[in-house]
Amino acid sequence: MPPSNQSPCRQQETIIKSLVEKLQHASPPGEALDSQVGLFQQLVQLIPIGIAVHTNGVATFINPAGINIMHAQSAADILGKSAIDFVHPDYREGALKRIQALLERSASSGPNIAPYAEEKFLRLDGDIIDVEVAAFPLSITDEHQAVLVLFRDVTQQKRQQQSLREREERFRVLAETLPAIVFLVDKEGSILYINATAQKLSGYTRDEIMALDYQRIVHPESYRQGIETMNSLALGESANFEIMITNKMGKMRWLDITMTRTTMNAQAVWLGVALDITWKKKAAALLKQQSQQLVSAYEEERARIARELHDEVGQMLIGMKFVLEGAQRSATHQNTLDSLQDARQILAELTENVRELSLSFRPSQLDDLGLIPTLLWHFERYTSRTKIRVAFSHSGFDDLGLSRTIEITLYRLVQESLTNVARHAHTDVVTVTALAQDEVIQLRIQDEGVGFDVEKIQSTHASSGLVGMQERVELLGGTLRIQSRPGAGTILSATIPLAGPTFSGRASFSNE
C-alpha cells in the first residue's frame, strides 16, 4: 500500500509526476517538471479513455472518463478498493496472470505495455460491461510497483457486432434455404456472395460462378438489360426484370430477377433474388401454342362453313331459283304468278344473305389472291354498304410471302376495326395504313369519330372485339395499342413480327 499519510489527491499528483518522469527522456532539455505535470494532468483529465492506477492491487488513481465508465459518483467510490474486484469473476484469473507477467517482464527487461485484451468489468451499479484493457508498469517508489490501466467501454460496439453477426447468420440461413438464387454484386459486377441454389440451377460450383464471364451464359439482350437496370438504380430503389441464361448442361433457363441497390461497408452493392421461371415460360409457350392451334382450328372451321354456304347451300338456292322460274313460266293464274314472283324475291334476298354470310366467315379471295387484293375488295364492299370512305395506303408487301396466320390476323384486325367504326364512330372516313419493313408489319387504323373511354371499356370488358384483337396479336408475339378518348377519335396500332413470336406480346390501351 502507498504511504498512509498521503491523501488521494496527493497520491494522484505523485502518480502523474511518476508518469512524467517516465516520459521525461523524450522531453526537450530544460523543460520544467511542473509544466509537464500540468500539461499531462490536463491530458489525463480530458482524454475520453479510462485511465486508472492500482498499486499492490489497490486502486490509487482514476480519471473522470474512468469514473464515468464505472458509473461512480466520484473517485472516492473507487480509490482504496481492490482493483480486481471491478473485474468480472470469469476474467479475474486471466487478468491477474497478465499483470503478474507484465511486472515480471518489467523487472527483467524494463517497462513495456501489455497488448489490449477484452474483459468484462463490474460497474458500481452492478451492470456488466465489455471493455478493452491495456496495462503499463509504473515505479512510484522503490518499494511500490504500480500498474497503469487504460480501458474503454466497448459494450455498445460488442452488442452491435453481435447484432450484425446474428443478422448475417439469419440472412445466410434464409438465403441458403430459399428455393431462389440470392446474390450480392459490387459496382464492378463481381459477385460477393451467392447461395447454394445457384449451383443446382446453373450446374456450376460457387467458385466457377465467381470466375464466370457472364456474357458467355447470359443472352446478349438479357445481359444488356440487366446492366442498364443495375446502373439506373438509385440507393434504396428496386427493379424487376427477366433474363435468359444457358446452364452448364447447355439448357436454356429463364430467371425473374428483383434487384435492390444498397450499401455494405460504405460501398454500393446490389442485392438480387432470382426465381427460376422456366416452367412458367414453358407453360406460357404451350398455352400460346394451343391458343394458336385453337385460332387456326376456328379459322379453318369458318372457312369450311363459308365453303359449305357457297357450294352447297348456294347451289341449292340456285336450283330453287330455276324451279321457281320454270313454274312462273308455266303458270296461267295471276294469283299464282304473283305468289311465284314474291317467292323469287324472297329467294333472291336469301341468296344474297347467304353470300354475305359466307364472305364474312372467310372470303375466298384471301386464299386465292392474298392480303392486299382482299383488303381492297373488302374496302369497296364496306364503303358501298356503310357510305364510309376508306383511305388505304400500303408499302413493302410486294412478293413478301406472308404466312396464312399473319394474313388472317391482319384481315381480322381491319375487319373488326371497320365494323366498330361503322357502329360507333359516327364518321364518314377512316384511314388504314399497312407498312412492312425491318422484319415487322405495322398496321394503323385511324378515324376522327366520337371516340370512347378506353379504361371504362377495358375495366367492364364491354368489347369482346377488342379483347379478341388483343389475343390474336399477342399470339403472334406482337403489340397492340389503342388510343382514344371521347370526342377525339380512335387510333389502333398493331406491330407484328414477320418471324413469328419470340417474346410475349403486349397490349396497351390509353385515353389519348
Provide the 3-class DSSP secondary structure of residue 146. strand
DSSP class per residue in 219-274: -HHHHHHHHHHHHHPPTT-EEEEEEEEE-TTS-EEEEEEEEEEEEETTEEEEEEEE
Beta-bridge mates of residue 273: 182, 258
- Position 193 in a domain: yes
- Point out the domain boundary residue: 135, 153, 171: 153
Share of the chain above pLDDT 70, in %: 79
Averaged pLDDT, 12-34: 50
Rounded to the nearest 10 degrees, what angle do helices 8-23 and 33-46 cross at? 110
Give dist(CA 137, CA 15) in Å, integer: 12
Residues 391 and 491 in one domain: yes
Residues 382 and 512 in one domain: yes
Give dist(CA 259, CA 182) in Å, integer: 10
Q: Grade residue 191 by pLDDT with cuts at 50, 70 and 90.
A: confident
- Position 1 in a domain: no
Question: Domain tally for the chain?
Answer: 4
- The CATH code of the domain that includes 190 is 3.30.450.20
Give dist(CA 371, CA 366) in Å, integer: 6
45-96 pLDDT per residue, tens: 878 889 998 988 899 999 999 999 999 999 999 999 999 999 999 999 999 9
C-alpha cell of residue 495: 406491330
Q: Which amino acid is at 46?
A: L
10, pLDDT greater than 60: no
462, pLDDT greater than 60: no
- Position 395 in a domain: yes
- Position 339 in a domain: yes
- Point out the domain boundary residue: 312, 341, 362: 362
| Nearest alpha-carbon partner for 443 in 417, 475, 419, 471 | 417
- Position 3 in a domain: no
- Point out the domain boundary residue: 254, 276, 298: 276
Residues 211 and 299 in one domain: no
Q: Vertex 247, ends 246 and 253: CA angle to 5°?
A: 60
Pairing of strands 479-484, 506-510: parallel
CB of 346 closer than 8 Å to CB of 324: no
Residues 12 and 121 in one domain: yes
Give dist(CA 84, CA 91) in Å, integer: 9
404-421 pLDDT per residue, tens: 888 888 988 998 899 899
Residues 398 and 502 in one domain: yes
Residues 330 and 443 in one domain: no
Residues 18 and 100 in one domain: yes
Domain that holds residue 303: 281-362
Q: What's the predicted TM-score (pTM) here?
A: 0.45
| Nearest alpha-carbon partner for 12 in 76, 84, 69 | 76
127, pLDDT greater than 60: yes
Report CA torsion sign: 496, 498, 501, 502: negative
Residues 357 and 423 in one domain: no
- At 18 the pLDDT is 59
Residues 380 and 499 in one domain: yes
| Nearest alpha-carbon partner for 470 in 456, 458, 455 | 458
